[in-house]
Amino acid sequence: MQQPYRKGRGAQINTPNPYHAQYLDEAPQTPEEWKDLHTQHTEFIVVHPRTMLNRVDSPDIGLCYSMNPYQGCEHGCTYCYARNTHTYWGYSAGVDFEQKILVKTQAAQVLDIELGKKTYRPLPIMLSGNTDCYQPAERQFGITRQILEVLWKHRHPVGIITKNSLVLRDLDLLKQMAEHGLVKVSISLTTLQEEVRQLLEPRAASVKSRLGAIQTLTSHGIPVNVMLAPIIPGLTDQELLPMAEKAAALGAASIGYQIVRLNGDVAAIFEDWVRKAMPDRAKRILNRIRDCHGGQLHDSRFGTRMSGEGNVAEVIAQQFALAKRRYFKGKSVPPYNFQLFEQKKNPQGRLFD
């Protein structure tokens, strides 16, 4: 039964879990049941990880560790590639991803042990590489704050990726770490149109709050990279230059971009959402995305999956190059400082090297 767009969540459906041998179709059949699916309270489920550091060997990202205090994300971004990982835990990549949040309450303690091991060799840590470490759950649990305290204790560098202005809560720690070259913050900016943001990322920070976070962080000496990601052809691609100009004016040191790719269940979730939320533009948006990925909504190939290919992708790449020349010439974020970690771990120094 085709249902209208429901506000409050990003995904409008629960897709089947591909790892389940059987699938019971429990799709709501009445307007009341459909409404219940989107008004259920968020459920927080405590999990106990053995490790917090996940090694990332992708050539598109570079060698580093990712660290995720939460799995699932209440922001509800309809395009989020991380939705597919929720199926590993036995849930759906759809509404479940936004309603069933896995919480790693012992994350800081596990990390403290890992960083203290003699065999540990430092690499850049990406917080978070999967779901947002400053999503709404962080207000209640404060796990990201605890992790930053452990990183500061060990003087270990970290890069933060978020689209939530809650990052400003930890301004005191971030300033302290930035003074020693231990932190960089990437703010994700997808649009300057608040009405589009409300549909695309229903529980993320507003455009105004996000821009305010960029300005506040940079004014306190914290290096900020603005990720214009994902660029959604047919919806937000015309905003690339205005977003870059705004980011530069607010003090950002660099920008990056990615073209949306809808792998796995995300394709069905996004297509269902865009046809309900933007029926007048849905066909154009979907076709423009396909133009960037060889006629498909998805692309898993290293080297092209994030930048796309074809005429549409090339125009976006040219706009990005122009934005860098026009607004970020001579700017860059400073490198990570690993010396303090080494000195703290080995106070005697390498006297006999």
80-98: pLDDT as tens digits: 999 999 999 999 999 999 9
| Residues 135-148, mean pLDDT to the nearest whole number | 98
Q: Please tell me the predicted confidence (pLDDT) of residue 72.
A: 97
pLDDT tens-place string over residues 226-242 = 999 999 999 999 999 99
Q: Please tell me the predicted confidence (pLDDT) of residue 20.
A: 74
What's the CATH architecture for 31-326? Alpha-Beta Horseshoe (3.80)
> Is 179 a residue whose pLDDT tops 60?
yes
Q: Please tell me the predicted confidence (pLDDT) of residue 300.
A: 85
Q: How many CB atoms lie within 10 A of CB 30?
A: 9
Say how far apart CA 75 and CA 159 lie, in whole Å: 20
pLDDT tens-place string over residues 37-50 = 555 789 999 999 99
Percent of the chain with pLDDT over 90: 82
Does residue 37 or residue 176 have the better pLDDT? 176
| Residues 170-174, mean pLDDT to the nearest whole number | 98
Q: Please tell me the predicted confidence (pLDDT) of residue 27.
A: 52
> Would you place residue 353 in the very low, low, confident or very high pLDDT band (cuts 50, 70, 90)?
very low
> Is 338 a residue whose pLDDT tops 90?
yes
Q: How many CB atoms lie within 10 A of CB 115?
A: 21
Say how far apart CA 129 and CA 329 lie, in whole Å: 28
> Is 172 a residue whose pLDDT tops 90?
yes
> Would you place residue 170 in the very low, low, confident or very high pLDDT band (cuts 50, 70, 90)?
very high
pLDDT tens-place string over residues 111-125 = 999 999 999 999 999
Q: Please tell me the predicted confidence (pLDDT) of residue 57.
A: 83
Query: How many CA atoms lie less than 13 Å away from 284 in the CB half-sphere?
Result: 9
Q: How many whole angstroms from its chain centre is CA 186?
A: 9
> Is 285 a residue whose pLDDT tops 90?
yes
> Would you place residue 24 in the very low, low, confident or very high pLDDT band (cuts 50, 70, 90)?
very low
Structure tokens that stand for 326 in this block: 């026009």
Percent of the chain with pLDDT over 70: 92
> Would you place residue 328 in the very low, low, confident or very high pLDDT band (cuts 50, 70, 90)?
very high
> Is 350 a residue whose pLDDT tops 50?
no
Q: How many CB atoms lie within 10 A of CB 238?
A: 11
pTM equals 0.91
Average pLDDT, the chain: 92
| Domain segments of the chain as ranges | 31-326
Q: Please tell me the predicted confidence (pLDDT) of residue 253.
A: 98
Contact 67, 49 (CB under 8 A): no
Spatial CA neighbour of 44 closest among 99, 113, 118:
99
> Is 203 a residue whose pLDDT tops 70?
yes
| Residues 258-279, mean pLDDT to the nearest whole number | 97
Does residue 3 or residue 243 have the better pLDDT? 243
